[in-house]
A and B are shown apart, each in its own frame.
Chain A
Amino acid sequence: MNGIHDLGGMHGMGPIDAETDEPIFHAEWERRMFALMLATFANGSFKGDEFRHAIERMEPAEYLNTSYYEHWLHSLERLLVEKGQVAPGELEAAWKNAANAADAEGAA
């Protein structure tokens, strides 16, 4: 697809922002996201090309405004639902549970 991911030769993306002494992961959620993707890829839940294509189908502005592991999160959520491994309602329930748990923690 002629998507936003196909970046070669585009102008206006700005300078290279190289970080000195960059850590492998920048936050705990990046570690978990990395492992969730690899664990479900390694057990055969989807193919690599399916995963890439699910990233490519992100809304273009969101693609540019989000980090690499956020791309992975969008792709994995979408693929697991499309492949029937997770029902859409299950994902929504998981969001609700996580939000409620965070609220309870905040109120405590």
Chain B
Amino acid sequence: MASHDHTEPPSDIALRVKALESLLLDKGLVEAETLDAIVDLYEHNIGPQNGARVVARAWTDPEYKARLLSDATPAIAELGYRGAQGEDMVVVENTPEVHNLLVCTLCSCYPWPVLGLPPVWYKAAPYRARAVSEPRAVLAEFGVDIGDDVEVRVWDSTAELRYMVLPERPAGTEGLDVEELEALVTRDSMIGTALLEAR
């Protein structure tokens, strides 16, 4: 059996989290059922499928798209998506002339109600360091080549506004219905690190 210096935190991260959870349960600061419900909400009910619905609706309904681009929060709420980390939304549109890319250089701000929880790379140092200073190199690592005639706009989420990219509707999708269009929309296309293609 290893001897522990028990005034230091356990080096095993899982043990240290378990210790904190036990303490907060014992003190009545949290309830076990509440913790389970929170995990379930973000693991099963909220994710990029929500944002994909918003995008497909905007592609097929010009009036909705206009509302979405002028005042995103109520337009997104029309489809039932609202909540923590999406209280004040801004949607930016990709066009043949403009490509948008989202980042949070200071922490990891991300629009949870429409995209779910962020992937590890979005929260990690390389992306946060480089997205503002060399976005085209970052995009190239994602396999996205943006022409010199296109303006790259990077949005650094430094305040409480949360951003989502409205990607361009791919060519060749004229015959698809809304559900088929939704299925084309990827998480990364709504961050700005992917372009979409018809399948």
Interface residues of A (CB under 8 A from B): 5-11, 13-19, 22, 24-29, 31-36, 38-40, 43, 45, 52, 55, 64, 67-68, 70, 73, 76-77, 80, 85-86, 90-92, 94-99, 102-103, 106-107
Contact = CB atoms under 8 A, between A and B. Distances in A.
Given A18-B142, A24-B116, A92 B7 contact: yes
B141 to A, nearest CB: 5
A52 B107 contact: yes
Interface string B69-104: 000000000000000100000000000000000000
A18 B29 contact: no
B7 A34 contact: no
A85 B155 CA distance: 37
Nearest to B18: A98
A interface majority secondary structure = helix
Interface stretch (B20-28, B54-62, B163-171, B178-186): B20-28
B120 A67 contact: yes
Contacts of A16: 121, 124, 126-127, 130, 138, 141-142
List the 7 closest A-B pairs by CB distance, nearest first: A8-B105, A98-B19, A35-B35, A96-B6, A29-B14, A94-B23, A94-B19
Interface of B: 1-2, 4, 6-10, 12-24, 27, 29-31, 34-36, 38-39, 42-43, 47, 84, 105-108, 116-117, 119-121, 123-130, 132-133, 138, 141-142, 156
B1 A11 contact: no
Contact of A36 (B35, B43, B106, B129): B35
Contact of A39 (B4, B23, B35, B130): B35
Given A24-B117, A27-B14, A102-B10, 11 more contacts: A16-B142, A19-B119, A32-B35, A35-B35, A38-B38, A40-B30, A45-B29, A80-B24, A91-B20, A95-B9, A99-B4
A77 B19 CA distance: 11
Contacts of B20: 36, 73, 76-77, 91, 94
Contact of A11 (B6, B24, B108, B129): B129
A32 B107 contact: no
